[in-house]
Amino acid sequence: MNLNFKVLKRGEKNFARRGRFRIRDIVIDTPVFMPVGTYGAVKSLSPDDLYQLGYSLILANTYHLYLRPGFELVERMGGLRGFTSFKRCFLTDSGGFQVFSLAKLREINEDGVSFRSHIDGSLHFFTPELSIRVQNALGSDIIMAFDECPAGGADYEYVKRSISLTYRWAKRSLEAHRKRDEQAIFGIFQGGIYTDLREESLRQITSLPFDGFAIGGLAVGEKKEDTYRIVSEMVHRMPEEYPRYAMGIGEPEDILFYIKNGIDMLDCVMPTRNARNGQFFTFKGKYNIRNSTFFDDPSPLEDGCPCYACRNFSRAYIRYLYMQNEILAHRLLTLHNLSFYKRLIDDIQTAIDEDRLEDYESKFMADFYKSKNTL
């Protein structure tokens, strides 16, 4: 599927880009942040909530949907849009990262990966062909090639072998894709913390006819300075004419760094998972609603936030709900955090348009970390 991606504006002092692509009749402006709906739902929110927040593209997880409820059922129910009633757009990952991070007793060979389910220990064998078959059945709008994701501390020789395997699996993923007119497919380059292997993997993957490209294998255990070095070295070398995707990136300062270096698409569980743990984000820092100072605080989670939680409820009430383990607390904190992320991305888009991203970043970082509010 041709996404008709266009770069509308480039940063004058950095590699940041403003862009746009189209899925069916839905326009996606970039940079874009995608909430994670692992099982086809963003936890505690409805599709209408996501529409109201302004999200048109969310991520669902191939590995989890393959295990439960099974891709055949989702396909019979009309794919993810029919099954979930979220009528906008889905991206599905390939399952490669979850096999790396969650599965038990993982064994890799040329054909694919055998692993035991983290749920019940049942044995499974994932191949590039099966990953694509599952994603075809799920009916997502953007699917990902199956790759191997080495651990952050993997040695050079292992990573060298890994990028060759990822390249061969990428070619098999393309060959297995049966819905090119309906689903865009992105390739993923790897290479760990090694610049020459990153360059080689990028060259290999971008030689193939994908519709977009992702930088994979970051934030998987390596030092943060290595992550930033690889990002600053590699992202702006990704093809100009295709969307660039960084997988699993969610700290606000990381979002700014990646976008400044040329990333167009990001996703992370952080705003939703942290909400369930009581954390809420504001432009003056992040806080935990369990803090006793909020016991009788009549103010909203964040002054000026337009979300439903901030328009209607106090910190004191939301803290009370959270301490009573009321599900409404999780919902309100999730609504607020996703509102914060949407406003952050909107601000970044405007700053790129107006050639003031560095100034915006400096002010944001000073305000966000001024009081050093943490969990």
Question: What are the residue numbers of the active site?
Answer: 93, 267
Q: Is the peptide bond before 306 cis (omega within 30 degrees of 0)?
A: no
Asked if residue 144 lies in contact with residue 135, where contact means CB atoms within 8 angstroms, the answer is: yes
Instruction: Name residues whose C-beta falls within 8 Å of residue 232's C-beta, 6 or more positions apart in sequence.
Output: 261
Q: How many helices (H) and strands (E) does the chain have?
A: 15, 16
Question: b/e string for 243-263 if b means 16 or more Cβ within 10 A?
Answer: bbbbbbbbebebbbbbbbbbb
Nearest of 179, 147, 188 to residue 63 by alpha carbon: 147
CA 310 to chain centre: 25
Spatial separation of the C-alpha atoms in residues 62 and 238, rounded to whole Å: 25
Region of residue 304 (phi > 0: left; psi between -120 and 50: alpha; otherwise: beta)? left
Spatial separation of the C-alpha atoms in residues 346 and 355, rounded to whole Å: 14
Nearest of 374, 287, 289, 375 to residue 328 by alpha carbon: 289
Q: Give whole-number Cα distances, 273 to 137, 192, 343, in Å.
A: 27, 26, 19
Token pair 């990153």: residue: 198
User: Do β-strands 32-35 and 142-144 pair in parallel, antiparallel, or remain unpaired?
Assistant: unpaired
Spatial separation of the C-alpha atoms in residues 340 and 52, rounded to whole Å: 13
Q: Is the peptide bond before 31 cis (omega within 30 degrees of 0)?
A: yes
End-to-end, the C-alpha distance of the chain in Å comes to 43
For residue 367, count other CB atoms closer than 10 A to its CB. Answer: 13
Q: Give whole-number Cα distances, 322 to 45, 266, 285, 286, in Å.
A: 17, 29, 20, 17
Asked if residue 206 lies in contact with residue 189, where contact means CB atoms within 8 angstroms, the answer is: yes
